[in-house]
Structures are given as structure tokens and as C-alpha cells.
Amino acid sequence: MDIAVLVKQSLDVQELRVDQDTGKIYIEDAPTKAGDIELNATEEAVRLKEKLGGKAIAIMLSTGGASGKRQKEAREALTRVLAMGLDGAVLIMGEGAEKGDTYVIAKALAEEIRDKFGLVLAAEGSEDNFSGLLPARLAAELGWPYVAYATAIEVEGDHVKVTRSLEDFEEVVRVKFPAVISVTQEINKPRVPKLVEIVKAKKKPLDQKDFSPPVEPKLTIRELKVPKVERKQIVIEGDVEEAAEKLIQALKEEGVL
Amino acid sequence: MKVLAFSHSMDLALELVSAGRELGDVSLLVTSDQEGRINEVKGAKEVLLCKGLDSGDQEGLVELISGLASDYEVVLLASDRRGRELVGQVAHRLGASSAVDVSSLSVEDGKLVVERMTFGGKAIAVEEMSLPAVISVQKGKFKPPEEGEPSVREVSAPSIERRVEVIERKEKPKVGVPLDKAEIVVAVGRGFRKKEDLKLAYELADVLGGVVGATRPVAADLKWMEEEVWIGISGVRIAPKLLIVVGASGQQQFAAGIMDSKVVVAVNTDSKAPIFEQADYGVVMDLYEFLPVLTKKLKEIKGG
Amino acid sequence: MADFDVIVVGAGPAGSVASYLLAKRGHTVLTVERGKRPGAKNMFGGRLYSWSLERIFPEFWKEAPVEREVTKEVLGFLHGERGVEIRLSTRPKGRSFTLLRAKFDQWLAEKAEDAGAEVISGFKVERPLIRDGRVVGIVAEGDEEMEAEVVIAADGALSFMAEKAGLRPKLSKEDFAVGAKEVIELPKEVIEDRFGLSEDEGAAQLYVGDLTEGVIGGGFIYTNKESVSLGVVMRIGSLASKVSEISTAMWEVTEKFKSHPMIRRYLEGGKLVEYSAHIIPETQFMRGVKLYTDGMVVVGDAAGFCVNYGVTVRGMDFAIESARAAAEAVHHALESGDTSARSLSKYQEILSSGMLREFETAKKAVDLMEDERLYSSIPKIAVETLEHLFLVDGKPKENLYSFLRKEFSEEGISLLSALLLGWKALRSM
Ligand SMILES: Cc1cc2nc3c(=O)[nH]c(=O)nc-3n(C[C@H](O)[C@H](O)[C@H](O)COP(=O)(O)OP(=O)(O)OC[C@H]3O[C@@H](n4cnc5c(N)ncnc54)[C@H](O)[C@@H]3O)c2cc1C
Ligand SMILES: Cc1cc2nc3c(=O)[nH]c(=O)nc-3n(C[C@H](O)[C@H](O)[C@H](O)COP(=O)(O)OP(=O)(O)OC[C@H]3O[C@@H](n4cnc5c(N)ncnc54)[C@H](O)[C@@H]3O)c2cc1C
């Protein structure tokens, strides 16, 4: 049974520049990457594929547009997960994909996944939007059961045992294949690929396809606003004693002590 | 507009009623395990009581809510993990639009307009949603209504084959003072070398009369805290008047959770750590040297 | 067999050019860059002299992400709140362009990739892999070995590669100057207006004076399309004992520079978007550097091909030219199947008949800039002389000659040596 790992081309939010004065968000300038939690999903796929006796393939439907820069970054992100031990990757890209909401993307991804895979692994949320909607919609589209927030996955015959972490309790559930599971950051420690693995990953099969939206989106982004957070950014100098005193003084003046 | 609401947590369900009233009449779905708290529900038009379904049955809930939803324009769920798990599934079953963790919602020209944080908290997206829509509402944004007795109508449980079977459920320790309500918070990060060292943070929180919160790795991965609660985009968003962040780098996903704090202090050995951009006062020092001295001096003031 | 014909360490201009040229000639090339992306962390003042890159990519400026072509040169003297600017408006003989490294380095690295080199970012190379006294590859972080027929060390000013291969002595902090730079965003029209430029034209402005409190160094401003690069270079290594002291001093001088009335007016309303600091190798240590050994050559800053004129630094063009020479030599070595030091010595030969001569001339200009009076007395005299000439306060004026004589004697400089210094300075520009 083959595993599909959903990898999103996320904006690197750490490097995304926003201007609080003008409200400008420099989306085009920001680099993109595979989300950190998708590396956890990849790690889990690599671990599970031995047990399931199949391949593990990354699937990226890029919503970053089709510019050369985004294309290159998408391939680099896929190279990274391939280097971790996946067997191949599918990259779906194209003009118009940036307007796709999770409804559109789930429909398009389902085409790629139905009949080919028995298990889909995803991140609990993407790095830049963190909604977690996509795997849930995908499961609904495929008609497969969905379990989110996995902190451990064990294969037992024709089903998997998933431990998942919820706010008030921890749950262990048993799910039949085929299934969609989203994982948390705590499920494992993603391996850091070696140089040689990256070199080899560039030779692994990467199948690039054109995206064409199967349906119209249900949601559009009307506006992106920059929240104003003004921080004084005062650095307290001096030795330990002085710094502690200065800090206390400052907090007193702020009226928070 | 007709709104259907549900949450696994009765407290959040009451907030949803309030959020839903911004749009129209609210029907609140209540499951068998929640029946005992029905009389707390105020301000909803009606309560839909499903005696044959437990809120732990996610598959049953997807089926039930999707079935009921055909009579409504908007489905409101909570933004806890189980609530969010339902949003996408229900929305897709209905062919509806969807959004999670929404902080405000309104109707403009027949369109539903919502706001939510995106890009790890660096931006707020204003989204236009077609109807029907399935939405999860950010915690703590709406106050439960105090008046209006709803009528109660029973609905029957769906009969479907379950493919997910819950085989074990372990309660987690309960949270003391909830972080999102605390006035003073000391937030700890991976700069602490071992669990025992958190004592330094607890002592500081004690003199200040505050509580200790953590970054996600400290709470969820290392599990150094009493309870698994962390600050940030995937955890709790806090709004204390004083926040002291100790040994945390201030990555965007953490920073998104502290934006509403009044005064932020950061203690970190690395002067280039992004947390200093998020702070009013920065102390570039080893927490092991700085915290004991700060706590001692605060004790002197508070004691004398 | 080795994993690659060539492994290039570092994807700065030197590394990317070497990678490009060798990949284009059909060799298998692996380029390893420790930054997240090529150019991600790389900084420089702001101007590239185009001659060497033109040899590889004729008219590269039509395609490469350059900002503006420098057409205006300004030399400024600052003294206290006052200042004098001398503006040179002739089109310089060789073309030069302002640019931002993050974009430019990435463009060059893509050229190498397109030619077939494997460019891998986010990996630090720890040291050369040495067997039986010969460099046979690299050791990357995590103790991972990778073999190559030839290694090209293009790892910049600090080059641990050269040091660990025994090609240059361990450096001490006296061997370095330090540069700090800010990028300040301004609207295009504002830049063109304030600096008196037409579209695509750029300015290069250098300032010396009491700003650096007598330390050799000064401030610079280069105009980009929609930002200016502004910074300070100081020969500070020997003065401070701690890195933190150096960075504080650099920051203070940069702030002082920015707030000088003459400079401030250029920047008003601008937005600081980037701050970085970097060391600059001093040309003196070139003497102790060897350029090649069995299985390895050193290029660019790693080899010390960088000239610090005190206020400005020039090294990009030498980095590119040295990489071209090295690529030529490495190609021959690979073709002949002999990658020993003797075979690679062709690199030095190519340099000696070309770039090294240009480099020596450039270094001569440095000797002049070493004169500390240029950073203290001269700016003061320049400012006060002009004030003397132009300011009228109703009191009787001394004649210019006796005024000058007084000024110079206050500064302990003879008139003759001042004239000589001035003459040399003009000639070297
Ligand atoms: C989609 C997604 C969602 C996420 N959601 C969240 C979230 O909700 N909340 C969250 O916290 N994280 C979240 N993360 C993880 C987040 O990206 C960071 O990894 C995490 O916040 C880092 O935690 P930290 O600051 O404790 O650890 P680190 O980043 O390792 O920082 C430790 C800091 O301690 C400092 N330090 C070390 N020693 C000392 C000392 N002796 N004295 C003082 N300082 C010292 C170091 O300089 C460093 O800055 C999420 C990640 C993703 C991808
Ligand atoms: C303040 C300042 C101003 C300057 N102004 C100018 C100017 O206006 N004009 C000009 O021509 N020159 C200027 N220079 C000099 C110029 O920046 C250098 O001469 C030029 O960058 C040298 O190119 P390079 O490729 O040899 O090295 P670098 O550009 O330093 O590139 C070295 C690369 O190697 C990588 N690297 C280093 N170590 C490793 C490792 N162990 N493993 C993997 N990768 C590694 C680095 O990340 C980097 O990308 C200036 C320098 C400074 C500091």
C-alpha cells in the first residue's frame, strides 16, 4: 500500500516582511518552503512505508502561482522531503492556483490520490495558514475516515492505531484503511538529510503537472491587513543587578507591577 | 439568517450562541453527554437535543451536523481541536465554504465576511464566504448571552457504519488558572535546560502573582509542564498586562499568541533572537543568572 | 572514483562563477553553500566593477539584477556638524553598478545551476578532506565525506578551508577591518531627486572625517533603485578586544554618520530594512597565502583578493576574475588527469599575467589611504578652508595663504606634505 504525503508550498512566515505603517505585505519577496510539520508527516511516512510494503510519495499542489521563482522553490522543497526518504514526488502547479480555496484544492488533490494510495498523511496545519481544513476536506471528498492531531501511529494489519492529542484528553483510535491522518509536531523528530541524500534526491522522480481548477472557489480573500503591534524594543543594559533594577523601575513606570 | 451551532465544550457552545446571534437565529445542537447543562443555554432560538449521540463520536457528529445543516445557512463550531476537525469535513459534505479560528463575522451584501489571523499572525485576512458556510470561532471572542429561553426539540442520531473506533481515552490534568485569563504570565522556552530549572520561572511568577506558560516544544514535546497547554497560533492566545518571556526565541508561531499582551519583557542570551522585536523591554542575559536576581529584588519590594 | 569532478565550497560570486564555468565545460560540479540560499547572508558595500564579469557574461547588466549604473562619484569631508562634498560627474572609464547581494548572488548561482552544477544550500562544509597530504574532497557538517578530483575554496574572507589545508596562517583580528551596512528604503523619485540622478543612474558617495575619531575608515552611500546602501568601514580589529565591543562601536559610528546634517537629508523619511556587519580581509596578509595545493585551489576573498581602500572595499571583481582563472586551470588539470599542485599552479600563472597586476595597482592606492591624516586633519582643513573662503561675517579676513598655514601648523602637517597627499589622492582616484 502506498502512502501520499501532502506537502504545501508555504510562505516562510518568519521571513515574510510586513510594513505596519503602510500595511504592505511583501508576499512576492518572501521565500517559500515545505512546512515544518510536513517534515514530521514525511518522517512518519518513511517510517510506515516499510511496514506497509509500498512507496511513499509527496504531493504538492502549489498555490504560489507559476513564477519561475516559485517553481524553483517548490522543487527545492520537494527535494528536501525526497532526501528524507520519500520515493517520488508529484508537483501540480499553474496559473490560477493561487485563487484556489481548500474546496478547490481538495477536489483537485483527490483526483491525484483516489485509487492510487491507501493512506494520506498531512500536517495538522500548514505553516502559513494553519487551518487544517485541507486534509479534512480531502477525506470527505474521498469518502475516507479522517483522524487529526496524531502523536503516534502504529500499523496493525488492515488498520492503524492512532494516538491523538486533544485539549482535555488523549485518545487512542483504530482506523481502517484507506484513511487520511494529520500529524502534530510532536509525533517524531524529522531526520536531517545528508548532503549525499540531497544529491540523490535530485535524481528521484518528480512528476510535474499543470493545474487547472476543477471547480470554482467558495471563498475569496477580500483584503489582507497588517495588525499593529507597537513594542518599545528597549534593551536594558548593565550587569545583572543593574539590569534587574532598571527593569523593575521600568515596569513600575508602566504601572504593571 | 439561520445558524446551527455545536461545540464539544459547553462553555464554548455558549460563546457560539453569542457569535451566531450576530447573524440571526441560532439553533444549538446538544449531545447526550451535554444534556445536563441544557438549562445554561440562553439566547438561542432552540436547542436540538440528540440523546442518541455522544460528543466523543466525531464520525457521528459529521453525519448528524451535515444532515441537519441543510436547513441552515451557517454552521458555527468551536476552534478547539475537535471542533476544527469537524469544520472541513462538514463543509465539504455540504459543498460549503469554510474558515477556522474566525475572530469576527458579519453579513455584507448577502455575503458572509469573516476575519482571521494568517501568515503566522503577521496578517489578518478578511474573507468573503459564499453560503452555506461552516466556520469555527476563535475562543474567548464572544460573551455568552444571559437571557432568552430556547425551546427544545429532539433530533435522532444518525445510523452509519463507524470506521474510526475509540479504544482508549485518558483525561489530561486540568488547567489551573487558564493562561488566557491571567493578568501576569511568565512564558518559558527551550532556553531552560531541564524540567527542574523551571522552578526559577515558578518562583518569579509567584512573587508577581502570575502563572507560568510555555512554548509548544516545552509543553507538548518535552512535556515539562503540569498540563499540555502552550502559547501561540496552535495553542492559546494570551492578553496579560505583563508578559515575561524567558528563554524562548520568539518564532512567529509563538509570537502570534502574545500580540495582545500589554507589556512584554524578553530575557534571552541571543541578542539577535526575534523575541526582542516583539518586546518592550529586552534583557540580553543568561536566564540562570538574571532570574534569581530579579526574583530576589521583586521579593524585597513586595515583602517590604 | 570521486563523487564529483569538482566541489566548490561557497556560492558567493567567486564560487558561482567557478561552478558555472566548469559545469559549462561538462565537468560534474557540486557547490555547497552554508546559507539558506546563495546570497542570503552575504553583504558588501554596494558597487560591482563590471570588467571581470563582462568577460563571462557580456552585457550582463541587461539580465542580471543590478540596481543602478554608477555615474556620479562624491567624496565628502565631514567635520563636526559641517561638511564638504566634491562631486565628480564624468562618466568613469570602466562601468560599475550598484546591486544587492541577496538577489545578485542568487542570480549567479542560478547561472551555475542552469549550466549543470548541483548547488546545495543550507550545508556547512567543515573542512577539506585530506588523505596522504592531498585534498581529496570535503567534510560537510555531520562528519559527512564527499570526494572530488579538485576542491575550490570560495568560502570568503574567513576561509577555514584555506587555513585547514595549510594554505594560509591562522588569522588574528589585526588582519581584518570591519564593515557595517544598512539598507534604507526610499521611493525611486526621492532618490533621483536627492542625489541628482536620472533614471537608472547611480551615485557612489564616500565620506571621511572625525566620524571615525581618527581610525582609518569612513562612511559610504550607494544608491539602489528603491533604496540606498549606507554603511561604515573601520580598521578596528586591533582596537577592540571583544566582538561585542566592535559591533557596538560599528553601530555607534553608523548612527553618527546617519545623523550628520549632510547625510541626514539624503535619508529623511527612509525605512531601515536591513542591517548587517561583516569582516574585510586586509590585503597585507596576502603575503602569507598560497593559492593552490594538491587537489585544491583558493579563490576570491578566501585567497585575500580584496582591497580595502579605507572607506570603500573592492573585491567582487577580483573574486570573479580569480574564479575565472581558477576554472581555467582546473579544467586543464581535469583534462590532463593531473590535479596535483604542480598542475594547478597554472592558476597562479594565469593570474600573474593578468589580474595580479591590476590587484597590485589597486593595493598601491591603499598605501595612500593608510595615511591617517586623511581621516582627521584633512577633512577639518577642507571644511575650515571653504568656510574661510565663503563665509562673510563683517570682520576683516586673513588672506588665504596665512589662514592655511595656521590651519596646517595647528594640525602639525607641513604645507608641502599636505599638498603631496592631496596630489596623490587625486591621482589615485
Ligand atoms: C505550524 C506551526 C505551528 C506552531 N505553533 C506553535 C505555537 O502555537 N506555540 C509555540 O510556542 N510554537 C509553535 N510552533 C513552533 C515554533 O515554530 C518554534 O519552534 C517554537 O516556538 C520554539 O520554541 P522555543 O522558543 O522554546 O525554543 P527555541 O526556538 O529553541 O528557543 C530557545 C531560546 O532560548 C535561548 N536561550 C538558550 N539558553 C538560554 C539561557 N541560558 N538564558 C536565556 N536564553 C537562553 C536561545 O537563545 C533561544 O532563543 C509551531 C510551528 C509550526 C510549524
Ligand atoms: C562592508 C563591506 C563592503 C564591501 N564593499 C564592496 C564593494 O562595494 N565592491 C566590491 O567589489 N566589493 C566589496 N566588498 C568585498 C566583497 O564583498 C568581497 O570581496 C566578495 O564578496 C568576495 O566574494 P567571494 O565569493 O570570494 O566571497 P563571499 O562573497 O564572502 O562568499 C563566500 C560564500 O561562501 C559561503 N561559505 C563560507 N564558509 C562556508 C562553509 N564552511 N561551507 C559552505 N559555505 C560557506 C558563504 O556563505 C558565502 O556565500 C565589501 C566587503 C565588505 C565586508
Q: Which among C198, C148, C199, C158 is positioned nearest to C178, based on CA atoms?
A: C158
User: Residue B24 region, left (φ>0) first, then alpha (ψ -120 to 50), else beta?
Assistant: left
Element holding B202 (H helix, E strand): helix B199-208
Together in a domain, A149 and A256:
no
Same CATH fold, B179-303 and B2-154?
A: yes
CATH number at residue A124: 3.40.50.620
Q: Crossing angle for the helix pair B287-303 and A240-254, nearest 10 degrees?
A: 50
C79 near C210, Cβ under 8 Å?
yes
Query: What residues have CB less than 8 Å from C306, skipping those under 6 apart?
Result: C157, C280, C281, C283, C300, C313, C314, C315, C318, C319
Together in a domain, A78 and A131:
yes
> Which pLDDT score is estimated for A211?
93
pTM (2 decimals)? 0.90
Cβ-based burial of C143 (10 A; exposed 0-12, middle 13-18, buried ≥19): exposed
Q: C170-221 pLDDT, tens per residue?
A: 777 667 788 899 999 999 999 999 999 998 899 999 998 888 887 888 899 9
pLDDT in tens, chain B (304 residues): 999 999 999 999 999 999 999 999 999 999 999 999 999 999 999 999 999 999 999 999 999 999 999 999 999 999 999 999 999 999 999 999 999 999 999 999 888 999 999 999 999 999 999 999 999 999 989 999 999 999 999 999 999 999 999 999 998 877 677 898 899 999 999 999 999 999 999 999 999 999 999 999 999 999 998 877 899 999 999 999 999 999 999 999 999 999 999 999 999 999 999 999 999 999 999 999 999 999 999 999 887 5
**ipTM, two decimals:** 0.94
Q: The C-alpha cell of C22 is what?
A: 566548469
Q: How far apart are CA B112 and CA C82, in angstroms?
A: 61
User: Inter-chain contact C142–A194, Cβ cutoff 8 Å?
Assistant: yes
- Give the residue from A153, A169, A222, A241 with the most B CB atoms within 10 Å of its CB, the best one to mutate: A222
Together in a domain, A154 and A198:
yes
C403 near C388, Cβ under 8 Å?
yes
- Give the residue from A37, A165, A168 with the most B CB atoms within 10 Å of its CB, the best one to mutate: A168
Gap from A131 CA to chain B (nearest CA, Å) = 6
Give the ligand whose atoms come closest to the C-alpha of residue B220.
1
Cβ-based burial of C259 (10 A; exposed 0-12, middle 13-18, buried ≥19): exposed
Query: What residues have CB less than 8 Å from A117, skipping those under 6 apart?
Result: A1, A2, A3, A4, A57, A178
Q: Which fold has domain C4-65+100-171+285-353?
A: FAD/NAD(P)-binding domain (3.50.50)
Q: What is the dihedral of CA A229, A233, A234, A235, to 10 degrees?
A: 150
Cβ-based burial of A93 (10 A; exposed 0-12, middle 13-18, buried ≥19): buried
Name the residue of B251, B258, B278, B287 whose CB sits within 8 Å of the most ligand 1 atoms, as the mutation to test its pocket.
B251
Identify the segments of chain C with pLDDT beneath 50: 429
Which of A21, A194, A199 is the closest to C30 by Cβ? A199
User: Inter-chain contact C118–A202, Cβ cutoff 8 Å?
Assistant: yes
Cβ-based burial of A5 (10 A; exposed 0-12, middle 13-18, buried ≥19): buried
Which ranges in A114-193 belong to alpha helices (H)?
A: 133-142
Tracing cell 525526497 back to the chain, one arrives at A82
Tracing cell 539590569 back to the chain, one arrives at A243
In total, how many domains does chain A have?
Answer: 2
Q: How far apart are CA C207 and CA C75, in angstroms?
A: 6
Together in a domain, A247 and A177:
no
Give the CA radius of gyration of chain A. Answer: 21
> Which pLDDT score is estimated for C246?
77
C321 half-sphere exposure, CB direction, 13 A CA radius: 25
Pairing between β-strand A206-210 and β-strand B2-6 as defined by DSSP bridges: unpaired
Q: How far apart are CA C141 and CA C159, in angstroms?
A: 16
Which ranges in C268-412 belong to alpha helices (H)?
A: 316-336, 341-344, 346-352, 355-369, 377-390, 400-411
Please give the number of the atom of ligand 1 that sits closest to the Cα of B249.
Answer: 49
CATH number for domain B2-154, candidates 3.40.1190.20, 1.10.3720.10, 3.40.50.620, 3.10.20.30: 3.40.50.620
3-state secondary structure of A40: helix
For B179-303, CATH gives: 3.40.50.1220
Q: How far apart are CA A88 and CA A207, in angstroms?
A: 8
> Which pLDDT score is estimated for C28?
97
Q: How far apart are CA A214 and CA B93, in angstroms?
A: 17
Gap from A80 CA to chain C (nearest CA, Å) = 10
Instruction: Kindly report whether the peptide bond that precedes residue A178 is cis, defined as omega within 30 degrees of 0.
Output: yes
Q: How far apart are CA A26 and CA A244, in angstroms?
A: 38
Q: C27-47 pLDDT, tens per residue?
A: 999 999 999 999 988 888 999
Gap from B151 CA to chain A (nearest CA, Å) = 30
Which ranges in C233-315 belong to alpha helices (H)?
A: 243-259, 261-267
Q: Which residues line ligand 1 (CB under 6 A)?
A: A 35-37, 125, 127, 130, 185; B 189-191, 215-218, 230-235, 247-249, 251, 253-254, 257, 267-270, 273, 286-288
Which of A102, A130, A221 is the closest to B234 by Cβ? A130
List CB contacts (< 8 A) between A16 and chain B: 119-120, 122
Together in a domain, A169 and A43:
yes
List CB contacts (< 8 A) between A17 and chain C: 273
CATH number for domain C174-281, candidates 3.10.310.70, 3.30.9.10, 3.10.28.10, 1.25.40.10: 3.30.9.10
Which ranges in C10-156 belong to alpha helices (H)?
A: 13-24, 51-56, 101-114
User: Residue C39 region, left (φ>0) first, then alpha (ψ -120 to 50), else beta?
Assistant: left
Let me know how long chain A is: 257
CA angle C412, C415, C418 (to 5 degrees): 85
User: Inter-chain contact B169–A169, Cβ cutoff 8 Å?
Assistant: yes
Q: Output the furthest CA–CA distance in chain C (Å, rounded).
A: 86
A30 near A134, Cβ under 8 Å?
no
Q: The C-alpha cell of B67 is what?
A: 444532515
Together in a domain, A95 and A219:
yes
> Which pLDDT score is estimated for B119?
95
Name the residue of C36, C44, C139 whose CB sits within 8 Å of the most ligand 2 atoms, as the mutation to test its pocket.
C44
Q: How far apart are CA B133 and CA B88, in angstroms?
A: 10
> Which pLDDT score is estimated for C363?
74
> Which pLDDT score is estimated for C397?
67
Whose CA is closest to atom 29 on ligand 2? C12
User: Inter-chain contact C123–A195, Cβ cutoff 8 Å?
Assistant: yes
List CB contacts (< 8 A) between A202 and chain C: 118
Q: What is the mean pLDDT of chain A?
A: 95
Instruction: Show me where the domains of chain B are located.
Output: 2-154, 179-303
Together in a domain, A216 and A177:
yes
Together in a domain, A99 and A111:
yes
Q: Output the furthest CA–CA distance in chain B (Å, rounded).
A: 67
Strands in chain B per DSSP E: 2-6, 25-31, 46-50, 74-78, 97-108, 111-118, 123-129, 133-137, 151-154, 164-171, 184-188, 211-214, 242-246, 263-267, 281-283
DSSP assignments along C120-146, one per residue: EES--EEEEEEETTEEEEEEETTTEEE
Domain that holds residue A171: 3-226
Which of C37, C146, C271 is the closest to A195 by Cβ? C146
Neighbouring chains of A at 3+ CB pairs under 8 Å are: B, C
Q: How far apart are CA A220 and CA A225, in angstroms?
A: 15
Strand partners, A18: A25
What average pLDDT score do residues A66-91 get? 94
Q: Which among A63, A96, A100 is positioned nearest to A220, based on CA atoms?
A: A100
Q: The C-alpha cell of B35 is what?
A: 444534556
Q: How far apart are CA A152 and CA A186, in angstroms?
A: 9
For ligand 1, the distance from its centroid to the CA atom of residue B247, given in whole angstroms, is 8
Q: How far apart are CA C380 and CA C82, in angstroms?
A: 9
